[in-house]
Chain A
């Protein structure tokens, strides 16, 4: 198509997948950080927080790259606002993961052994939500090639349901843990504040992951 080749713009979908991968890298650091919190290794926490900030910054750069490549003159197979919302929610996952890392460095949190199991269960569940989400987001480029129909699209839609279900389960775990530490009489208030902040960050990761899934569903089913 000779001189008409300029008509085809750069696809925004591959960069979106790259960003999603980088965001999950941030989330993967959450479990090592949780382990370090429970074992009280402040040095390790500082290291991990530094690594988390670096990864989150790289994610930000990828996000800016996607935004730059979405000029209004491009005609896309999905609504531009859907892509923008997808990107924004992904970004918030990375932000929440970074918050988790930073709060962990504020102070040595002496969490009694009775809370360890519940805390780690919540962490694992949240990381799992992010994993499933990544599996779904990675299909984005393939979905565009198949014009958002077919067995792959249907599989993605059902996986998005699974993300929502897992987010609900992580909510339950979070509430159970909250009742536990709020109801306790032997934890000092500052520890409770910090744990609450940590749980908020974790809950945020799961929430925003669910929102990303919803935006992806909109992208598939609209039009």
Chain B
């Protein structure tokens, strides 16, 4: 009876967390496209749903394994494995409550920081600080610092040495822009394909080694690039574009890629952040299923990834919808060239860290990428205090969700312990 209640609480908690993840972050990916008029909100929600789910389902496992088993290992709970399950629940609920509060006040917070704060919180209280794998925690914390830097460097490089040098600085910017689009889309397709087939889901036979994955990904990239080139040829501006229209035409070219890069962002976000809900849930469910046995390794069944994906979709289509609606049409600063650089840099970084099993904050990476493009002289003015505030928010998020998690842990232990 106790177990069934716990199971229900676990599933609800996981769904709640996934809902928060979807609600919080969809505007990051599709805000620019909707605000700039490239997509209607409805289409954006549909695309976001497809790609968040896809990323979560196909590439979400490594990060989920880290959160569920690498921060605090199950061996510490041989006396009463139920404690681990309750702790993971507390972490889920604590993090979700904090996320909900922050979203209500319009503050961009990191879902990743929240859940990890929650997990560390209950671990320290339930079996002592020695239980936490501080080495792993250190690596994760390091990745929180490194990932925005890499996102920034990538976005900077794409904008400065890709777009600025070869498109804006060339004698024939429109021609170069039209050449850039197939390359960009091909790279996008190759990276996504690689992330899915290289050591992907064993259940779907997507667990391929490098020798298979690399050529398949390269092939997918080339096919997409060729297809896009053909489509563009039909729309190619054969006659010269008048001088005054040149810049606008370049931006329009990159605008064609805006929808694809936004979907790419959603995919990467699903891959990294779905684990924030599914990781703890997987641990809780596995123990509830076998209450006396301490699991050697927490398994992440595909149906659980799908469950998380659905939760995210629910979140983005209910609350995320509202957030995008309030963005309005005033995003003149994120022109398609800049948007492409920062989105591509962000998504690639997030996806790479996901494959490495590192839970990072997509929000931080986005900020890093925007700074990168700003450093390459892409934006007219960036407000550094807002950026600093975003980075400072993690100082509040981790302790707060840890405290909430601890409180809920004690509460749940009282009821079910």
Is chain B a partner of chain A in the same complex?
yes
A112 in the interface, Cβ–Cβ < 8 Å?
A: no
- Contact with B31, one of A5, A9, A147 (Cβ below 8 angstroms): A5
- The answer to whether A144 touches B380 (Cβ under 8 A) is yes
Closest residue of chain A to B170 (Cβ to Cβ) is A150
Question: Which residues of A are found within 8 Å of B377, using beta-carbon distances?
Answer: 77-78, 147-148, 223
Bound form: Cα–Cα A145–B163 in Å: 12
Closest residue of chain B to A77 (Cβ to Cβ) is B377
User: Which one of A4, A10, A77, A142 has the greatest number of beta carbons of chain B within 10 Å?
Assistant: A4
* Distance in Å: Cβ of A87 to nearest Cβ of chain B: 15
Bound form: Cα–Cα A135–B121 in Å: 63
* Distance in Å: Cβ of A29 to nearest Cβ of chain B: 30
Question: Which residues of A are found within 8 Å of B327, using beta-carbon distances?
Answer: 1-2, 5
A113 in the interface, Cβ–Cβ < 8 Å?
A: no
B190 in the interface, Cβ–Cβ < 8 Å?
A: no
Residue interface bits A1-43, CB-to-B below 8 A is 1, else 0? 1111111111111000000000000000000000000000000
- The answer to whether B383 touches A9 (Cβ under 8 A) is yes
- The answer to whether B164 touches A145 (Cβ under 8 A) is no
- The answer to whether A147 touches B168 (Cβ under 8 A) is yes
Question: Which residues of B are found within 8 Å of A5, using beta-carbon distances?
Answer: 31, 327, 331
Q: Is the interface of B mostly helix, strand, loop or mixed?
A: helix
* Distance in Å: Cβ of B269 to nearest Cβ of chain A: 12
Residue interface bits B140-178, CB-to-A below 8 A is 1, else 0? 000000000000000000010000110011110100000
- A1-B28, A2-B31, A4-B390 given as contacts; is B168 within 8 A of A75 (CB)? no
Interface size counted on chain B using CB atoms at 8 A: 43
Question: Which residues of A are found within 8 Å of B31, using beta-carbon distances?
Answer: 1-2, 4-5
- The answer to whether B168 touches A1 (Cβ under 8 A) is no
B4 in the interface, Cβ–Cβ < 8 Å?
A: no
Bound form: Cα–Cα A110–B3 in Å: 107
- The answer to whether B381 touches A8 (Cβ under 8 A) is yes
B32 in the interface, Cβ–Cβ < 8 Å?
A: yes
Question: Which residues of A are found within 8 Å of B367, using beta-carbon distances?
Answer: 4, 7
B139 in the interface, Cβ–Cβ < 8 Å?
A: no
Bound form: Cα–Cα A4–B369 in Å: 12
- The answer to whether B387 touches A7 (Cβ under 8 A) is yes
Residue interface bits B20-41, CB-to-A below 8 A is 1, else 0? 0000010110011000000000
* Distance in Å: Cβ of B363 to nearest Cβ of chain A: 7
B128 in the interface, Cβ–Cβ < 8 Å?
A: no
* Distance in Å: Cβ of B78 to nearest Cβ of chain A: 44
A64 in the interface, Cβ–Cβ < 8 Å?
A: no
B80 in the interface, Cβ–Cβ < 8 Å?
A: no
Question: Which residues of B are found within 8 Å of A148, using beta-carbon distances?
Answer: 377
- The answer to whether A73 touches B380 (Cβ under 8 A) is no
Residue interface bits B365-394, CB-to-A below 8 A is 1, else 0? 011001100101111111111110010000
Bound form: Cα–Cα A7–B380 in Å: 11
Bound form: Cα–Cα A9–B323 in Å: 20
- The answer to whether A2 touches B378 (Cβ under 8 A) is no
Residue interface bits B310-354, CB-to-A below 8 A is 1, else 0? 000000000000011001000101110000000000000000000
Known: A4-B31, A146-B247. 5 other contacts (CB 8 A): A3-B107, A4-B370, A7-B382, A73-B384, A147-B164
Q: List 21 A-B contacts (CB under 8 A).
A: A1-B27, A1-B31, A1-B32, A1-B366, A2-B27, A2-B323, A2-B327, A7-B383, A11-B380, A12-B381, A74-B381, A75-B371, A75-B381, A75-B383, A142-B247, A144-B380, A145-B247, A146-B247, A149-B164, A149-B165, A149-B168
List the 9 closest pairs (A to B, CB-CB), nearest first.
A2-B27, A11-B380, A9-B381, A77-B377, A3-B108, A149-B169, A8-B333, A75-B382, A1-B31
